[in-house]
Amino acid sequence: MLVYLRVKNFALVEDISIEPYSGCNVITGETGAGKSILIGALGLVLGLRGDKNLIRSGADQAVVEAVFDISQVSAPIPVFLDSEGIEPCEEGLLRIKRSLCTTASNRQFVNGTPVSVSVLSLLGDWLVDIHGPHDHQSLLYPARQMEILDSFGKSKTEYAKTLKDYSEVYKKLRSYELRRKELIVDDQSYRQQLDLLRYQVQEIESSFLNEDDVLLDDRYTRAAHSVDILRSIQAGVEILSESENSILTKSGLLGRLLHEAARLDSSGLKDITEKFELLHEQLAELQSLLADYAENVEADPYDLQQIEERLNLINGLKRKYGKTIKEILDFEKNARARLTLLENRDVELTEIDQLIEKENGELRKRGRKLTENRQKLIPILEAKVLEHLKELGFKQSLFNVSLQPYENPTSEIGPTGMDRVEFLFSPNPGELPKPLRTIASSGEIARVMLALKTALAEADSVPVLVFDEVDANVGGETALSVGKKMREIGSKRQVICITHLAPVAASGNIHFSVEKIIQNQRTHVQVNRLEEDERLVELSRMLGGQMETARKYAQTLLLKYKTNA
């Protein structure tokens, strides 16, 4: 669960932090007070897109930090952290930090380890399910409805395995089809590809590239400047040994002087004479090495020309095939493999066609099994949703899940199976269920979504559920039902609920109030955890003000949930 959230210099927030309760947390405030900023910040730290425009005016960076207790989470987060080279959690706490910067790149950390945004996104899928008003519209699309059905089934081992088996075969089939597509080209393109690949392979192969070629630049420099090198070396030899005042001549004189002195004080000069003898030997060796080097330096124009021609050849290959000799050789290897594949196109096509036919048969076999499992799952989901719909005010509603095969399964078979799904709903007795997309009332759609979310909350393992004004367009007794539903979900998962309805706000175990204040001509957003008397004031405000009737109703609501706690 989420145990700590800190938001700094994000939108209108300067610096706030909250510590949510393990059950149902409600967040209220006037319209535009900044309630959804908290949800936006939570989404940011869990991998949603970060826009630098969200940085508070006048600040260099925005920072969001979140701490999750993962000790009871079923997702394999510790294994994932280890595989990504991320520091392990201490005392079961996962610490995530993300910053948006105006002058530098954005950064994100997990347990102090720098990570990519994709890592945050994956962790977010395991930790938090954020549901906002826009999700009502996504519920209207069959693809989303199929996703909901499959999510409900993933808690059941057999269903999850069937879905995974189907997905694996589908991916394998698509990879074969992609390989086949690469081989299927018209004859003219086929010949052109063969000619080009043969030319490329032959050009690189005929150059006989080898490891010694990396030394050509040094060889060229040495050959091009051989005269200057020889002049310098010969001058060095002269300084060492061939002039009247050469170093070795002076060294010999110094040696005689030391030996004369050593006859008079051999013990005192022992170390000095030994060091001198070693130095004299090294100077003599250096003179010999320089003389040998000078004898081998040749100013050969032909050798220089050969090296230059070789370098020109290699540089030409680099312009075409890679910046280094290794990259050129890798290019040749890949081109040769591609050439072999095309030259054996007919054989390869036959093999791939056989594999495609085999995997197509396997996919349909697993697709039929997936359909059978969905048919078994649907009544369970329908019963669960109907149960929750009744609690949300639809006493005699109908909810059905229609599962139909594709009209043309050969061409329409997809990554989710061979079926299409449609959620059907009738809010009123005596009316046949119709597709959700034909229902005009957003309030009805909101309650259907909440019923589905409740059913999913019981089935999945995501520990934190966020509801951002999902109770829009409902009121009266329905609002009481929504509040009860939030409290019920909160007994199984941590819930964070933003609401404008007092009956829903009263359901929270913990109540946070968000408000805008102006200090020093700057707008700030602050969040306060309300005590019992403060909750009464806030609920009264939500009910229409500080009238006595509003206050009494607020007291009734709080007493209702306290009694049922």
Q: 292-335: per-residue pLDDT in tens?
A: 777 766 666 666 777 778 888 888 888 898 888 888 889 999 99
Residue type, 232: S
* CB contact burial 173-188 (16+ within 10 A = b; e otherwise): beebeebeeeeeeeee
Q: 341-364: per-residue pLDDT in tens?
A: 778 777 888 888 999 999 999 999
Check whether 227 has a pLDDT greater than 70.
no
Check whether 171 has a pLDDT greater than 60.
yes
Give pLDDT, residue 76.
86
Contact 449, 17 (CB under 8 A): no
State mean pLDDT over 537-557: 85
Q: 264-275: per-residue pLDDT in tens?
A: 887 888 888 888
Q: 101-131: per-residue pLDDT in tens?
A: 988 888 999 999 999 999 999 898 888 888 7
Give pLDDT, residue 449.
80
DSSP state, 242? I
pLDDT band of 285, cuts 50, 70, 90: confident
Give pLDDT, residue 451.
85
- C-alpha to C-alpha distance for 42 and 11, rounded to whole angstroms: 13
- C-alpha to C-alpha distance for 86 and 551, rounded to whole angstroms: 52
The secondary structure element, H or E, covering residue 378 is helix 345-391
By CB atoms closer than 10 A (0-12, 13-18, 19+), residue 55 is buried
Q: Percent of the chain at pLDDT above 90? A: 27
- C-alpha to C-alpha distance for 526 and 128, rounded to whole angstroms: 23
Check whether 401 has a pLDDT greater than 90.
yes
pLDDT band of 513, cuts 50, 70, 90: very high
More confident residue, 170 or 412: 170
- C-alpha to C-alpha distance for 141 and 521, rounded to whole angstroms: 46
Give pLDDT, residue 546.
67
More confident residue, 15 or 215: 15
What structural domains does the chain harbor?
1-131+469-565 (3.40.50.300), 206-339 (no CATH)
Beta bridge mates, 523: 518
pLDDT band of 183, cuts 50, 70, 90: confident
Neighbours of 405 (CB within 10 A): 15
Give pLDDT, residue 63.
93
State mean pLDDT over 16-27: 92
Contact 126, 462 (CB under 8 A): yes
What's the chain's average pLDDT?
84
Give pLDDT, residue 563.
66
Give pLDDT, residue 302.
64
Give pLDDT, residue 516.
87
pLDDT band of 94, cuts 50, 70, 90: very high
Q: 417-433: per-residue pLDDT in tens?
A: 888 899 999 988 888 88
By CB atoms closer than 10 A (0-12, 13-18, 19+), residue 206 is exposed
Q: At 29, is the secondary structure helix, strand, or coil?
A: coil
Alpha carbon separation from 563 to 25, 169, 341, 555, 559 (Å, rounded): 18, 54, 75, 12, 6
Q: 469-510: per-residue pLDDT in tens?
A: 776 666 677 788 888 888 888 888 899 999 888 989 999 999
* CB contact burial 541-565 (16+ within 10 A = b; e otherwise): bbbeeeeeebbebbeebbebbeeee
Contact 472, 499 (CB under 8 A): no
Alpha-carbon radius of gyration of the chain: 39
Give pLDDT, residue 442.
66
Check whether 29 has a pLDDT greater than 80.
yes
Give pLDDT, residue 93.
93
- C-alpha to C-alpha distance for 88 and 76, rounded to whole angstroms: 12
Distance, CA of 188 to chain centre: 42
The secondary structure element, H or E, covering residue 448 is helix 442-459
Question: What backbone phi and psi angles, to 5 degrees, belong to 209?
Answer: -65, 140
pLDDT band of 379, cuts 50, 70, 90: very high
Side by side, which strands form the sheet with 107-110? 13-18, 2-10, 61-69, 93-101, 107-110, 113-114
